Structures are given as C-alpha cells and as structure tokens.
Amino acid sequence: MADGMAFSGKRLRALREARGLSQWALGAKMGVSGHYLSRWEAGSSPNGVNMVKLLRALECELEEVME
C-alpha cells in the first residue's frame, strides 16, 4: 500500500465489533463467507474488490483499516 501502510486485521476486528457485527453478519452484508473475515482478521488482506465491499459494509474509509 502507499506510504508503507498495510491492511490491519486488528483494526478490522475493532471496527466490526464497534458496529456490533459478527464475522458472519459482516460477511453476509458484503456477500462473502464469514471465513474470509476470519482470515483477514488473522492477517490476510482482502483483494481490491473485497476491500471496496468491506469499506462500504463498514461505512468507513480505507485509512481506518490500515496501519
């Protein structure tokens, strides 16, 4: 990512929990399996399409899931 920023599973989890969503509920909102959320929170990064879906589902900005 630009400026040395990287996707943060910790931040994703914090945002998801702050919105009262389970991994499965957020996955359903995005149209993906909750397994993806689990993997992303554990350290994998979503691809570009899923990143856009994630940001829209969480109603957040890219910087909020980066560190």
pLDDT confidence tier of residue 3, bands split at 50, 70 and 90: low
As a whole number, the mean pLDDT across the chain is 94
- pTM score, whole prediction: 0.90
Give mean pLDDT, residues 26-42: 95
Burial class (CB in 10 A: 0-12, 13-18, 19+), 56: exposed
pLDDT of residue 2: 53
